[in-house]
Amino acid sequence: MKISRNTALLATAASIAVLTFLFWPAMDQGQSRFFADQTYHFQTLRALNVIPSGGADTQEVLETIKHIRAGDPQSWFEAWEATGDRVYALANNTNDRLSRGRAYFRAHSYYRTGEFLLLPDDPQRPAAWEKNVTAFYKGLDTLGITYKRIEVPYGEHHLNAVYYPGPAGAETKPLIVFVGGFDSTLEELYFALGAAALERGYSVLTYEGPGQGSVLREQDLPFTHEWEKPNGAVLDTFLQSHVKPTKIVLVGMSMGGYLAPRAAAFDERIDGVVAFDVFYDLNGAPQVPNTALWLRDHGFGFLVNAIIGIRKYLSPGFAWVVDNAMWTTGTKAPLDAFDTFKPYTLENVASQIRSDVLILAGQDDHFVPIEQVEQFEKALTHARSTTSVIYDRESGGAEHCQLGASTLWHATFFDWMIEKFPAAS
């Protein structure tokens, strides 16, 4: 059979195409996300974020998340708990002191991460919490890190603080006071900033207030928008037994971007305040639209609750925000929790801040609109100075609190410390 020239050419072209498909290397391009779901991706970044300070290791995190299904908090908990148990056992069976202490630190972080997405009343929470706290202090003790746990009287309750005295010469530098936010724990503050500050010769005072850490879990004390009260109680107690530092710089992480500036507006002892990241107005956070509140206030609460239930089912991140909001505010209904946050705005108090102010922000922050940087700047009419830094995606710091890029914001912060407090730094 005679084959036409055109047919032969087509057959040849097809053969080349097939061979190219079979043997040409497939495109293998890296990805910037661990999960499509933002909450699971973000919390994985949070676990990786403490690697520079010894709170995690890369492959331990990657091996953990391969067992997790986004939207399934039980698989999240079980995977991190298993990694925590394995690393804790590794610590117990390690003779080298540094390796043992660092393994306790990593186990702590994995236990904390595992507990994070469980429902507030999940019966697995108390044991997981005890594990993470125990591992943390074992890490400190094993590594010989000097610290002092402080119980702060607070009405019928008490707050908790940990003081990390810096090396010789730290007394000439500002005291860094560090507080977390909507979901922070006292112990994780060491990894977020404490370790980096100690390396640079600063003393650090970390604390947890109402609505946070063990104060919430063990005393059921919910958040307060009047953060000058817990912050003032911590400073009062600390200064009763310690020499007043040359300067005091208060840093607030995440929702602490509201809490710390709020405290600074009412306390002249604070010489510098850092919003890490900006959180000028919690009501501007994109969680519950004003239309939902309007519907509730006009007799359509049942409809709003149904919509919230559907959205919780479809969005793991929204479900976590709602559940955590009710837990930390001591409320029983989602909209009641968001009502509680209405006073959480710096609009009427920012003008009272007279210290140096550093505002940090991530360009793609999924919690706080970037417009709040400018709003906060304009409201700081009496601040001694205002410095704002917005990190873009290319820098690695575009996420909320620059997660995954801790060394990036540390460089900004410590340079700012040297610039604003040169005689002491």
Instruction: Assign a CATH topology to domain 149-281+344-420.
Output: Rossmann fold (3.40.50)
Say what the pLDDT of residue 315 is. 80
109 is catalytic: no
Say what the pLDDT of residue 425 is. 47
Say what the pLDDT of residue 313 is. 74
Residue ranges of the chain assigned to CATH 1.20.1440.110: 38-141
List the beta bridge partners of residue 250: 177, 273
Q: Measured between alpha carbons, how far is residue 251 from residues 144, 238, 403, 410, 414 in Å?
A: 25, 16, 16, 12, 12
Residue ranges of the chain assigned to CATH 3.40.50.1820: 149-281+344-420
Q: Give the span between the Cα atoms of 308 and 313, in whole angstroms.
A: 9
| Residue tagged active-site, from 53, 109, 254, 406 | 254
Are β-strands 272-276 and 356-362 bridged in parallel, bridged antiparallel, or unpaired? Answer: parallel
- Counting every residue, how long is the chain? 425
Say what the pLDDT of residue 307 is. 75
Rounded average pLDDT per 10-residue block, the chain, 425 residues: 60 63 64 88 94 96 96 96 98 98 98 95 95 98 98 97 96 97 96 98 98 96 97 98 95 98 98 97 67 66 74 79 91 86 95 98 94 97 98 94 95 98 69
HSE at residue 337, side-chain half, CA atoms within 13 A, is 22
- Closest to 175 in 3D by CA, of 186, 163, 183: 163
What are the backbone angles phi and psi of residue 178, rounded to the nearest 5°?
Answer: -130, 130
Say what the pLDDT of residue 288 is. 54
- Closest to 258 in 3D by CA, of 273, 269, 248, 268: 273
Say what the pLDDT of residue 306 is. 76
CATH class, domain 38-141, is mainly alpha
Q: Is residue 183 reached through a cis peptide bond, with omega within 30 degrees of 0 on the bond before it? A: no
Q: Which two tokens stand for residue 174?
A: 């500002």
**Is the sign of the CA dihedral 250, 254, 259, 264 positive or negative?**
positive
Q: Which two tokens stand for residue 103?
A: 């393994």
Q: Which two tokens stand for residue 232?
A: 């003032």
